Amino acid sequence: MLDIFDRIERDSGGPIGQYFEQGFGYYMYPRLEGELGPHMIFNGTPVLNWSLNNYLGLANHPAVRKADADAAAQWGLAYPMGARMMSGHTRYHEQLEQTFAKFEKKEDAFLYNFGYQGIVSTIDALTARHDVIVYDAECHACLLDGIRLHIGEKYKYRHNNIADCEKVLARACQVAEENGGGVLLITEGVFGMTGALGILDQIAALKKKYKFRIMIDDAHGFGLLGAHGRGTSEQLGCMDDIDLYIGAFAKSMASIGGFVAGPHKIINYLRANMRSQMYAKSLPMPLVIGNMKRMEIIDSPEGDALRAKCWQITHAIQDGFKKEDGQGPA
């Protein structure tokens, strides 16, 4: 009989793990120190840091830092002590959910205590045995992990390829109809691994020909894209066609957690069936209060200015790279 630990010790470690010893402390688990920002200390040396999820600079915003500190001082990190369904529910959690629902123009919203596990659990709760999942080949790991839990049929289409998407979707709809199930299409607003903008508007247009629901993970678009920061669906003019919108707090909000927004009955179903939220501690009060302050800024003229600044910096970097590569103006 094989010992599990023996097998693991003999294993190369996989595509990443095989280089773990050489990469630890450098490109794996680097030790970054100092104030959060573009310049930090790495192994004792000042470096330019490209890898912060702080799109709008809210991590160091004075009002945000004060809201975080005041809430921690008032409530501590333990409150509320328990899962949302049992003893972790407060009016502040409700208020934050209502803020997200209104912002995304949906009937209701439900908080995630952590974005990754919330997405996995949402997919698991939404889909039954006879349902079919259709998904982009380059979906983020959190989406893929949720899709793996689905015991029914699942089909992927080539990344951002609308022709292949329609071909796969047509097949999925046929299989779902034969099995008595439905179809859920899962994709991203902005693909986290490449930065590519999704083709949400083109996918949404397929609703005229096929019966399916769309769920998007817009972790990288929420707060940043669109005229008001409502995300990729606002940017592409298809907010009403997105059935379930997922936003994460780790990017533009520089925080922890996330939310899913959609029809009230569906959100209530998720509240009662998402195992990662039913059996895990509720989002701590300092994060709830701090995220309220972040949303207040994002949904304001100051938020517009922060988005404009982010794009100014982005375009300057892009233009600089093009110039160095000989593609831009000298």
Q: What is the DSSP letter of 58?
A: G
Report whether pLDDT(260) > 60: yes
328: its two tokens: 């831009």
* 106-140 tens-digit pLDDT: 999 999 999 999 999 999 999 999 999 999 999 99
* Mean of pLDDT values over 210-233: 97
Query: Could you tell me the domains of the chain?
Result: 62-291 (3.40.640.10)
170-193 residue pLDDT tens = 999 999 999 999 999 999 999 988
Distance CA(222)–CA(247), nearest Å, equals: 6
pLDDT at position 10: 87
Mean per-residue pLDDT, 236-248: 97
Among the residues of 207-329, which ranges form H helices? 232-235, 264-273, 275-278, 285-298, 301-324
**How many helical (H) and strand (E) elements, i.e. helices and strands, does the chain have?**
14, 10
pLDDT, average across residues 71-75: 96
pLDDT of residue 329: 57
pLDDT grade, residue 76 (50/70/90)?
very high
State how far the alpha carbon of 321 is from the alpha carbons of 63, 324, 325, in Å.
Answer: 34, 5, 6
R_g over Cα of the chain: 21
pTM of the predicted protein model: 0.94
pLDDT at 237 over 60: yes
Q: Which helix (H) or strand (E) holds 273?
A: helix 264-273
